Structure 1
Amino acid sequence: MGTGSRCSRSNIARGQKVEFIASVENGTVVWSGPDGKPAKDHKLKIGQGAPLDQIEIRIKSDKSAKDLGLCIDTRGPFQVAQDNGQCPPQGINTDQIEFVSCDSDSVTISNKNSTACTLRYQVNVLDKDGNQCPCDPIIQNDGPGSGM
């Protein structure tokens, strides 16, 4: 890579990790964020001027959800939309996020943070029977980072 590449060491942050935990409440899978609050209310804040950053989103199950066999749908693991005020439609509907990789319990994305915006995303999770159990938190970009 040449000098000034968007992937040069100075332009990529060390990365962030966020974990969501599934539990079963009244027969329904409920996701909690790192703070114990509902995942839908969790905002991962990316500070103003933060550089291009990778974010690893991990899922776990508590004791009540262990038998469900929850895993990320590796055929369509992640969807995101910018400032749409609701759960995102299929696909990546913003230039702020790029999909990097996934496995059965994590998704890694790259966040450019090149504009201030709210990104509503969903990690597509399936139970052992193929039922959808999505986890849908928020990323708050304060922009303008060095992402290109």
Structure 2
Amino acid sequence: MATVSPPECEAPPTWAYALQLPHDARAARIARVTLRAVLAGHGMAQLQEPAELLASELVTNAYRHSTGPATLRLRGFGGSRLRVSVWDTNPHIPPPFDRRPDRRVHPVPADATGGRGLLLVRHYADTWGGYPLGDDLFGRGGKLLWCEVA
């Protein structure tokens, strides 16, 4: 399985926020509200619509496919680039994040009840990826899915 780590940036992020989210159906809404406030506070409101979609889909995926908490992390690079990442407790990297980035978006069968959210992320993000995380000292493993929008 191919995993894709976030690219190394020419400069470190100018700011970063992390939001701990319980396993709760309201987590995506809370993530969107937080994201709006962060982007407005840093003068990046022009990224609000795509960033909300991306964050909401990543948080929803974490809620639907894991049984534990999640963490939303927002990192700003200058005034024009945002990295959104979501950690959750499930180590499985879902399609299409289990493959190297490309611009082809494969259709989901019309009768499928899911499987469109991460395709949206892949389509609207400038770059994206995911990788499994080994257990740390506290016994948390899981995965990190991330994307960037500029």
Pair in the same fold by TM > 0.5: no
Structure with bigger strand share is 1
* TM-score, reference length from structure 1: 0.28
Structure with bigger helix share is 2
Larger-Rg structure: 1
